[in-house]
């Protein structure tokens, strides 16, 4: 009964000073809504990444340059997580570590079904007066069996005859076709790749289907353009091996982590420890999760500073309230109210102020999420734990910053309080 009466008195006091109470809650509202929205954005991006990686294919393993300390590639042998040191950062973007011997030897690893190189080409793609800048990848026919999520909408993928003949052919993504051939069939059309003042003509033999995913990364998939690796090697790489990544597909009835271990052992026969990393799909997701979690928590921590400001605001307004209600405190003590009852009353007001701010901030989060969905391709995910923690923080702020004013109110001498003008 005492608790219910305290809550009613708290709401009555807050309602009596509506505008002041709103300004007091503003800091909490901004802090909580910012933190929850940022965490929701981070969760949404992680869900998008998981969907994107899952849509690419299954049982994929990638060999990349540099030791990033994930899974079996870590020099310490630890599973999961990211090391704080990446070794030589240049290895992460180097295309001079892997060679054709690696492709040949990795194909012999038990459990590996397909192996394909992945190189990159710089330059712009043009047709007549239109220009686009796709992500141009050089690879081999095996890639279609590894990245099974890349479906063809028209034409065909690179075939072995194209590799043997080093033909200047390309398979383009929907961004290329939509921009260069909006009302035409792209198959058979000749596009130009301009690289370092040199211009090369490529015939389009296939077109990737437009991504059906609503993921924010779907445009990255639609921007891919593939050319034969041997053609790129002859024209762009000066007949040198320029393999940025090696993509592999493990058998359906195999353990990708075990295959990754065998791949690492095979690579160590030709390369030094720390020159490369072997990543399964789970490793990639774990690594990206770690990065996104760190970024989300860092940004959320910055936004949480406003919670401290809001807490100080609550303490300040509660001290003003104690001063304004000094005679009320004296009167209540004169009729028998204990120090603990006075303390509880003012502490309850601070907590309710904070919790109300938290509740309003959740409505602001919902509005913010709808705006993000409207203007971006990100789909924020609000988690129960983020809401629970935010409301817990609200109660904690009310307790911590409302305690000092409540103690001050409870310690007032009733005689002096009644004399207060």
Task: Tell me the per-residue pLDDT of 129-155, one tens digit each, with 9 for 90 and over.
Answer: 889 988 899 999 999 888 887 888 889
Give the position of tokens 């409540």.
406
Residue 387 lies in a domain: yes
What is the distance between the alpha carbons of residues 243 and 108, in angstroms, rounded to a whole number? 19
Residue 404 lies in a domain: yes
Does 169 lie in the same domain as 231? yes
Q: According to the model, what pLDDT value does residue 79 have?
A: 45
What is the distance between the alpha carbons of residues 323 and 163, in angstroms, rounded to a whole number? 85
Q: According to the model, what pLDDT value does residue 85 have?
A: 38
Does 125 lie in the same domain as 35? no
How are the residues of the chain apportioned to helix, strand and coil, as percentages rounded to the nearest 5?
55, 15, 30
Q: According to the model, what pLDDT value does residue 90 have?
A: 54
Does 210 lie in the same domain as 143? yes
Mutual orientation of helices 384-410 and 339-375 as an angle, nearest 10°? 150
Residue 100 lies in a domain: no
Q: What is the DSSP string of 237-291?
A: STTS--BSEEEEEE-TTS-HHHHHHHHHHHHHTTS-TTSEEEEEHHHHHHHHHHH
Q: What is the mean pLDDT of residues 243-267?
A: 90
Q: What is the mean pLDDT of residues 371-381?
A: 82
pLDDT higher than 50, residue 86: no
Residue 259 lies in a domain: no
Question: Would you say the pTM of this structure is higher than 0.85?
Answer: no
Choosing from 200, 220, 242, the residue where a domain stops is 242
Residue 71 lies in a domain: no
**Which secondary structure element, helix H or strand E, spans residue 153, and what is its range?**
strand 152-155
Q: According to the model, what pLDDT value does residue 219 have?
A: 56
CA proximity to 382, closest of 16, 76, 10, 38: 38
Does 338 lie in the same domain as 223? no
What pLDDT band is residue 75 in, cutting at 50, 70 and 90?
Answer: very low
What pLDDT band is residue 92 in, cutting at 50, 70 and 90?
Answer: low
Does 124 lie in the same domain as 28? no
pLDDT higher than 50, residue 72: no
What is the distance between the alpha carbons of residues 154 and 164, in angstroms, rounded to a whole number? 23
Q: What is the DSSP string of 33-76?
A: HHHHHHHHHHHHHHHHHHHHHHHH-SSEEEEEES----GGG-TT
Does 130 lie in the same domain as 22? no
Q: Which of 78-87, 223-232, 375-384, 400-409 has the lowest mean pLDDT?
A: 78-87
Residue 370 lies in a domain: yes
What is the distance between the alpha carbons of residues 91 and 75, in angstroms, rounded to a whole number? 15
Q: What is the domain range of residue 412?
A: 2-49+295-419
Choosing from 216, 242, 268, the residue where a domain stops is 242
Choosing from 207, 242, 277, the residue where a domain stops is 242
Count of the separate structural domains present in the chain: 2
Q: What are phi and psi of 246, to 5 degrees?
A: -120, 125
Q: Is 198 helix (H, G, I), strand (E, B) or coil?
A: strand
Residue 253 lies in a domain: no
> What are the Cα distances from residue 415, in Å, to 323, 325, 419?
15, 14, 6
pLDDT > 90 in the chain, percent: 17
Task: Tell me the per-residue pLDDT of 165-195, one tens digit each, with 9 for 90 and over.
Answer: 678 999 999 888 989 998 889 999 999 998 8
pLDDT higher than 70, residue 71: no
Does 42 lie in the same domain as 134? no
Residue 76 lies in a domain: no
Residues in the chain, total: 421
């Amino acid at each position: 009964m005492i608790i219910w009466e305290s809550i009613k008195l708290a709401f009555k006091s807050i309602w009596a000073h509506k505008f002041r109470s709103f300004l007091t809650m503003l800091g909490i509202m901004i802090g909580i809504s910012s933190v929850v929205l940022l965490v929701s954005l981070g969760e949404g991006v992680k869900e998008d990444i998981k969907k994107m990686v899952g849509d690419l294919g299954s049982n994929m393993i990638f060999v990349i340059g540099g030791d990033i300390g994930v899974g079996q590639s870590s020099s310490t042998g630890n599973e999961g997580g990211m090391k704080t040191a990446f070794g030589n950062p240049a290895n992460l973007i180097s295309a001079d570590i892997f060679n054709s011997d690696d492709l040949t030897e990795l194909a012999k690893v038990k459990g590996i079904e397909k192996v394909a190189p992945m190189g990159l080409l710089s330059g712009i793609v043009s047709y007549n007066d239109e220009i686009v800048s796709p992500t141009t990848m050089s690879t081999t026919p095996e890639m279609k069996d590894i990245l099974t999520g890349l479906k063809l909408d028209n034409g065909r993928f690179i075939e072995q005859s194209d590799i043997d003949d080093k033909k200047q052919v390309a398979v383009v993504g929907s961004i290329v076709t939509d921009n260069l051939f909006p009302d035409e069939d792209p198959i058979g059309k000749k596009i130009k790749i301009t690289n370092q003042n040199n211009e090369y003509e490529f015939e389009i033999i296939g077109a990737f289907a437009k991504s059906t995913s609503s993921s924010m990364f779907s445009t990255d998939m639609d921007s891919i353009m593939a050319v034969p690796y041997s053609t790129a090697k002859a024209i762009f790489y000066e007949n040198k091996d320029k393999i940025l990544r090696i993509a592999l597909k493990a058998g359906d009835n195999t353990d990708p982590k075990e295959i990754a271990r065998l791949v690492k052992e095979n690579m160590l026969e030709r390369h030094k420890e720390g020159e490369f990393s072997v990543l399964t799909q789970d490793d990639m997701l774990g690594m990206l999760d770690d990065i996104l979690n760190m970024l989300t928590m860092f940004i959320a921590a910055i936004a949480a500073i406003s919670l401290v400001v809001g807490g100080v605001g609550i303490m300040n307004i509660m001290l003003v309230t104690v001063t304004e209600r000094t005679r009320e405190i004296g009167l209540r003590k004169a009729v028998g109210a204990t120090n603990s009852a006075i303390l509880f009353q003012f502490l309850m007001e601070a907590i309710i102020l904070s919790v109300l701010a938290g509740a309003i901030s959740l409505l602001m989060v919902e509005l913010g999420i709808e705006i993000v969905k409207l203007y971006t391709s990100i789909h924020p995910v609000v988690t129960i734990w983020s809401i629970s923690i935010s409301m817990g923080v609200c109660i904690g702020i009310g307790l911590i910053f409302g305690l000092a004013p409540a103690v001050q109110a409870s310690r007032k001498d009733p005689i002096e309080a009644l004399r207060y003008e």
